[in-house]
Chains A and B, each alone.
Chain A
Amino acid sequence: DSGVTQTPKHLITATGQRVTLRCSPRSGDLSVYWYQQSLDQGLQFLIQYYNGEERAKGNILERFSAQQFPDLHSELNLSSLELGDSALYFCASSADGYEQYFGPGTRLTVT
């Protein structure tokens, strides 16, 4: 158990819909990272937040957005969903940026 929690575990939704994935980092970790893992693209970095502010951006689509709240939990919002957005979404947290601790992931299925 990494100490990072993600909800929900599974999500099934239709194309065009909007969903919110939630992540609670390890206690005290200020950095939160979001990654997407799909069968054809592998594990890809999406975005990082540090203490409420966006720190780095990766291959995140404009339809996707994220935020980190004052209590340090983070949400990833995915809108106008397409079939290709079906993937595992992982959240990771870190205290110092060296070791990232990953949550169990949210499996999103878009039908």
Chain B
Amino acid sequence: DAKTTQPPSMDCAEGRAANLPCNHSTISGNEYVYWYRQIHSQGPQYIIHGLKNNETNEMASLIITEDRKSSTLILPHATLRDTAVYYCIVRVGNTDKLIFGTGTRLQVFP
């Protein structure tokens, strides 16, 4: 079973920041938080991952709370092409399989 809880859907206006929450209250100390997205029926796309520090790359920022029980993926300037299902996944480093839950369907509107 997936170890994360995400809202089923969210909307965001184009050009605004999209903040996608994820609850992972049972996360262990050696488990990372990963985010992937799937646009329509394409292959999932890696976005970002982190352990306890906030992370940023060219696609997004990942904010992890100090107790690590929740995190937020931030797309700073959402575009229509960011419309997708976003999956928050916890896993032990690089040694465990990816377990996808149901994700959050983000709809970016003009």
Chain A residues with a Cβ under 8 A of chain B: 2, 4, 33, 35, 42-45, 48, 56, 58, 88, 90, 92, 94, 96-105, 107
Q: Are the C-beta atoms of A2 and B94 separated by less than 8 Å?
A: no
- Given the known interface contacts A42-B100, A42-B102, A43-B100, the answer about A4 and B43 at a Cβ–Cβ threshold of 8 Å is yes
| Interface residues on chain B, number (Cβ under 8 Å) | 20
Sampled A-B contacts (7; CB under 8 Å): A43-B44, A45-B99, A56-B97, A88-B41, A94-B94, A97-B94, A98-B32
Secondary structure type dominating chain A contacts: strand
Q: Are the C-beta atoms of A100 and B100 separated by less than 8 Å?
A: no
State the Cβ distance, B45 to closest chain A Cβ, in Å: 7
A-B interface, 3 closest residue pairs, ranked by CB to CB distance from nearest = A97-B94, A102-B43, A43-B100
Pair count A-B, CB < 8 A: 51
Determine the chain B residues whose CB is within 8 A of the CB of A105 once the complex forms. 41-43
B95 within 8 A of A: yes
Q: Are the C-beta atoms of B43 and A99 separated by less than 8 Å?
A: no
Q: Are the C-beta atoms of B100 and A104 separated by less than 8 Å?
A: no
Determine the chain B residues whose CB is within 8 A of the CB of A44 once the complex forms. 100
- Choose among B46, B93, B99 the residue with the greatest number of A CB atoms under 10 Å from its CB: B46
Cα A100 to Cα B42 with chains together (Å): 14
Determine the chain B residues whose CB is within 8 A of the CB of A96 once the complex forms. 94
Residue in A closest to B102 when the chains form the complex, CB atoms: A42
Q: Are the C-beta atoms of B98 and A98 separated by less than 8 Å?
A: no
Q: Are the C-beta atoms of A99 and B46 separated by less than 8 Å?
A: yes
